A = this chain, B = another copy of it.
Amino acid sequence: MTNDLQPAPLSTWRGAVLHEWVDYNGHLRDAFYLLIFSLASDALMEHIGLDEAGRQATGHSLFTLECHLNFLHEVKLDAKVEVRTQVLGHDSKRLQIYHSLHLADTPGVLAASEQMLVNVEVAGPVSAPFATGVLARLQALAARHQALAMPRFVGRTMTLPA
A interface with B by C-beta (< 8 Å)? 25, 29-32, 34-35, 37-38, 61, 63-71, 74, 89-91, 94, 96, 114-116, 122, 125, 155-161
- Say yes or no: B155 contacts A158, CB within 8 Å: yes
Q: 13 extra interchain contacts, Cβ-Cβ under 8 A, other than A66-B68, A66-B158, A114-B158?
A: A25-B61, A25-B122, A31-B31, A65-B70, A67-B69, A67-B71, A68-B68, A69-B69, A91-B160, A91-B161, A155-B157, A155-B158, A157-B157
- Say yes or no: A67 contacts B30, CB within 8 Å: yes
User: Which of chain B's residues have a CB closer than 8 A to the CB of A67?
Assistant: 30, 68-69, 71
Q: Known A68-B158, A96-B160, A161-B91; judge A35-B31 contact (CB<8 A).
A: yes
Q: How far is the CA of A160 from the CA of B138 in the complex (A)?
A: 15
- Say yes or no: A31 contacts B25, CB within 8 Å: no
Q: Classify the secondary structure of A's interface with B.
A: mixed
- Say yes or no: B116 contacts A158, CB within 8 Å: yes
A66: which of B29, B37, B66, B71 is its contact (CB, 8 Å)? B71
- Least CB distance from A126 to B in Å reads 12
A30: which of B64, B156, B158 is its contact (CB, 8 Å)? B64
- Say yes or no: B74 contacts A70, CB within 8 Å: no
Q: Known A96-B158, A157-B157; judge A30-B34 contact (CB<8 A).
A: yes
User: Which of chain B's residues have a CB closer than 8 A to the CB of A71?
Assistant: 63-67
User: Which of chain B's residues have a CB closer than 8 A to the CB of A68?
Assistant: 66-69, 158
Q: How far is the CA of A159 from the CA of B154 in the complex (A)?
A: 10
